[in-house]
């Protein structure tokens, strides 16, 4: 009986392990990412960007005194496209549909990338689980899978670009990198340059490198013109320096870790991890050459990303008072550099396993993925319960009835959500506004 039950579980797990179908990989990645990027959950960044997008599409709907504004032209393409969807579906509809589509786009990009490395489905899922469990970044507050913004579309396109590069389709990779740059010029620009560096190491041809660079420059020249236009327009505007500092102060992750005491200490674990990963990958690159050309390309990309993060500490320190570089967010590569490093490590560790060891590995990884998926399900359920409690209180529902509906202790409901009631502090408001 136990053997039959074990076989019932083992057969599909091993079938998935042996499968190298991009479709199976896409479906499994989409299932895990759908839990991480739950389509009903809003983030503060999304609230801001969706309003920015709608303002770009329908500026007449916003007051000139609206707190949501962005006078730059560099993001006009993604903002206008998203604003059109908001106009069509409304904020909640556009958000739900956008998150679902973003999940599918991410899953497709990752599947195309991982399949080029010939990772098994369980190996690819392990990379994603480890990345999410690590907080999606080494330091700096960057993330990949927490919402829908123009940068997330850029990251998804970067995965496609890496997949094309791994298949030696360099021109196509650069074109897709150019498209990513239009979505977010810092994300697309940095990682397209990394792909160009990888092309040079692969081909050792300056001619091929210059051709790829020329194609990228031509593709992104209009965007570069818009950015230059903005910078020249702002250069002569009174208060521009102050506006940059206000932006930096409201986005502290862009200017840390040297602007305030204690910030460097908070970043220290991530900085140490980045340095250790960099040293480890450099040692692997120099001593262990028994690896595929595809893994080598990703290894070099991870090394470039990590080396940039470590080197960026110097300019960040020099800029601690002026904060000129705050808009560039020097530590943005932290997230994808970590994912690439994890991908290389998993590919190297599991790439040479025997068939029997691979079968055992598949069962262990299956259990790990299921356990982690349950934590995501629990988080989403708790978020929906929190939202329901907030809405019930905002709509003036009797607390006793609301607590029974939510399966929550009445004291817990009042202590945590009572301030959302319309009658909250009504007596104090009346006392302040009453006649003396």
Whether the predicted pLDDT of 249 surpasses 80: no
Can you give the three-state secondary structure of 293-323, one letter per residue?
A: HHHHHHHHHHHHHHHHHHHCHHHHHHCCCCC
| 246 has a pLDDT exceeding 70 | no
Residue 248: pLDDT above 70? no
Burial class (CB in 10 A: 0-12, 13-18, 19+), 273: middle
Among the ranges given (73-82, 117-126, 177-186, 245-254), the one the predictor scored with the smallest mean pLDDT: 245-254
Q: How far apart are CA 113 and CA 158, in angstroms?
A: 9
Beta carbons of 303 and 282 less than 8 angstroms apart? yes
Of the chain, the percentage scoring pLDDT greater than 90 comes to 49
pLDDT of 435 > 70? The answer is no
Residue 102 — very low, low, confident or very high, per pLDDT cuts 50/70/90? Answer: very high
**pLDDT(432) > 80:** no
pTM summary value: 0.90
Mean pLDDT of the chain: 87
Please say if the pLDDT value at position 125 is more than 70.
yes
**pLDDT of residue 326 exceeding 90:** no
Per the CB < 8 A criterion, the answer to whether 306 and 337 are in contact is yes
Question: Which region holds residue 140: left if phi is over 0, alpha if psi is between -120 and 50, else beta?
Answer: left
Instruction: Determine the pLDDT at residue 255.
Output: 64
* pLDDT band, residue 317 (cuts 50/70/90): confident
Which residues have C-beta within 8 Å of that of residue 146, sequence separation ≥ 6?
Answer: 36, 37, 43, 136
Domain boundaries, the chain: 22-230+252-379, 392-421
Res. 8: pLDDT tops 60:
no
Asked if the model's pLDDT at residue 54 lies above 80, the reply is: yes
pLDDT at 172 over 60: yes
Sequence-distant contacts of 375-383: CB under 8 A, at least 24 apart: 376/32, 376/35, 376/36, 376/38, 377/35, 380/35, 380/38, 380/40, 380/41, 383/38, 383/40, 383/41
Highest mean pLDDT among 170-179, 218-227, 384-393: 170-179
**Does residue 297 have a pLDDT over 90?**
yes
Count other Cβ atoms within 10 Å, centred on residue 92. 12
Lowest mean pLDDT across 12-16, 128-132, 141-145, 217-221: 12-16
pLDDT for position 339: 97
């Amino acid at each position: 009986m136990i053997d039959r039950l074990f076989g019932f579980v083992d057969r599909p797990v091993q079938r998935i392990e042996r499968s190298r179908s991009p479709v199976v990989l896409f479906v499994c990645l989409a299932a895990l990412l759908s839990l991480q990027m739950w389509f009903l959950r809003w983030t503060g960044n999304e609230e801001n960007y969706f309003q920015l997008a709608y303002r770009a599409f329908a500026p007449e709907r916003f007051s000139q005194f609206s707190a949501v504004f962005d006078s730059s032209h560099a993001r006009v393409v993604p903002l206008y496209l998203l604003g059109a969807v908001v106009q069509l579906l409304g904020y909640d509809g556009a958000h739900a549909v956008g998150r679902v589509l973003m999940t599918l786009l991410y899953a497709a990009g990752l599947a195309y990338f991982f399949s080029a490395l010939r990772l098994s489905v369980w190996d690819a899922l392990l990379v994603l689980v480890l990345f999410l469990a690590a907080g999606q970044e080494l330091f700096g507050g960057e993330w990949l899978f927490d919402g829908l913004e123009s940068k997330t579309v850029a990251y998804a396109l970067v995965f496609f670009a890496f997949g094309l590069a791994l298949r030696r389709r360099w021109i196509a990779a650069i074109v897709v990198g150019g498209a990513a740059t239009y979505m977010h010029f810092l994300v697309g620009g940095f990682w397209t340059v990394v792909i160009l560096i990888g092309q040079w190491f692969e081909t050792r041809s300056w001619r091929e490198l210059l051709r790829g660079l020329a194609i990228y420059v031509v593709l992104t020249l209009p965007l570069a013109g818009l950015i230059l236009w903005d910078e020249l327009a702002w250069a002569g505007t009174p208060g521009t320096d102050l506006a940059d500092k206000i932006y930096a102060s409201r986005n502290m992750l862009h200017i840390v870790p040297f602007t305030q005491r204690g910030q460097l200490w908070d970043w220290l674990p991530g900085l140490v991890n980045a340095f250790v990963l960099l040293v480890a990958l450099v040692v692997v690159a120099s001593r262990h050459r028994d690896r595929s050309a595809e893994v080598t390309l990703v290894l070099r990309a991870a090394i470039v990303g990590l080396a940039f993060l470590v080197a960026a500490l110097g300019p960040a320190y020099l800029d601690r008072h002026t904060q000129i570089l705050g808009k560039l967010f020097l530590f943005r590569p932290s997230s994808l550099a970590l994912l690439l490093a994890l991908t290389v490590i998993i590919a190297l560790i599991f790439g040479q396993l025997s068939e029997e060891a691979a079968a055992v590995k598949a069962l262990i990884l299956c259990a790990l993925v299921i356990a982690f998926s349950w934590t995501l399900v629990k988080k989403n359920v708790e978020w929906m319960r929190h939202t329901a409690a907030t809405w019930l209180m905002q709509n003036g529902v009797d607390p006793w009835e609301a607590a029974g509906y939510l399966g929550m202790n009445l004291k817990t409901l009042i202590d945590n959500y009572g301030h959302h009631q319309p009658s909250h502090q009504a007596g104090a408001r009346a006392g302040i506004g009453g006649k003396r």
